[in-house]
Copies of this chain bind each other. A is one copy, B any other.
Amino acid sequence: MTNQIKNIIIIGTGNVATHLAKALSGAGLNIAQVYGRNIKDAREIAGDVNCNYTSDISTIYSGADLYILAVTETAVKEILEKLPKHNKLIVHTSGSLHIDILKAYSKNFGVLYPLQTFSKKDVINFSDIPFCIEANSQENLESLIKLAKSISDDVRKVNSEERKLIHLAAVFACNFPNFLYTIAEDILNKEGIRFDILLPLIKKTTEKIYTLSPGDVQTGPAQRKDQETIRKHMALLENMPEYEEIYKLLSDAIINKHH
């Protein structure tokens, strides 16, 4: 029998907590309470989803159907030690933490990992966000899948080992490219050129991989093994040694992969 999740406690006030609380509330679920170390942050989310809030961990309600631990990886352990124990369903939302970190806390536990990058002020459409679900039992798995399906069209059963790799791949596909955009902006700003000249190029680069494998659409000096251009580019970076090192390492890796 699947237990229907109706009442939810959100533990955490960061970007994931904020967006998840709003989405679940918008789907008709009842957010009963928000806990945050900082009362002001908890109040802000509580205001958005019309619920109670607390900054005292001992006053977290005990009667909810689901406790969502949406805090940074490093804070999860610390919070678990302080959280009043019971046997309600508890999940974390982390890409890299094993499900078993929750074992000591409750008989019913799982993972609800939304594969997306969340910024606080951003508008998030959850419907196309992949949700990676894992649970300690078939019953809890089904409850969590049902919950995730109320906000997303892409809900997948993913174990802890797979999820770790997905999280690692996401760092390469999101965090690192964004940092390379930052480098590009730094390079352009030195000459007073606005970053937006690159936007059509960035858009096309990501459009291609909707239909083709990124390995098949690699372009650029390193893909052509054009050592003269690579040398000129590195000379341009001589006053930015960290960026020069990144240029060299990535170019060498592209040459190794494609030649």
User: What are 11 A-B residue pairs whose CB atoms fall within 8 Å in the complex?
Assistant: A115-B201, A117-B204, A162-B193, A169-B193, A170-B184, A171-B220, A175-B222, A178-B208, A179-B254, A181-B209, A182-B215
User: In the complex, which residues of chain B have a beta carbon less than 8 angstroms from the beta carbon of A176?
Assistant: 177, 180, 220, 246, 250
Interface pair B179/A166, CB less than 8 Å apart? no
| Nearest CB on B from A240, distance (A) | 10
This chain's copy number in the assembly: 2
Q: Which chain B residues border A238 with CB–CB below 8 Å? A: none
Which A220-237 residues have a C-beta within 8 angstroms of B? Answer: 220-224, 226, 228-229, 232-233, 236-237
Task: Report the stretch among A27-35, A46-54, A62-70, A122-130 that lies at the interface.
Answer: A122-130
Cα–Cα distance between A117 and B73 once the two chains are bound (Å): 38
Asked whether any CB of chain B lies closer than 8 Å to the CB of A101, the reply is no
- Bound form: Cα–Cα A254–B168 in Å: 16
A203 in the interface (beta carbon within 8 A) = yes
Contacts of A179 in B (CB 8 A): 214, 218, 250, 253-254, 257
Q: Which residues of B contact A257 (CB under 8 A)?
A: 179, 182
Chain B residues in 8 Å Cβ range of A206: 202-203, 206
Contacting residues of chain A (137-174) with chain B, CB-CB under 8 angstroms: 154, 156, 161-162, 164-174
Besides A73-B229, A117-B219, A176-B180, 16 new A-B residue pairs in contact (Cβ under 8 A), listed by A number: A96-B221, A96-B233, A115-B200, A118-B219, A119-B208, A119-B219, A166-B193, A171-B221, A171-B233, A176-B177, A178-B208, A178-B209, A195-B214, A203-B206, A242-B253, A245-B249
Q: Lowest 8 CB-CB distances: which A-B pairs, in order?
A: A175-B220, A181-B214, A177-B177, A169-B184, A173-B184, A172-B184, A182-B214, A169-B187
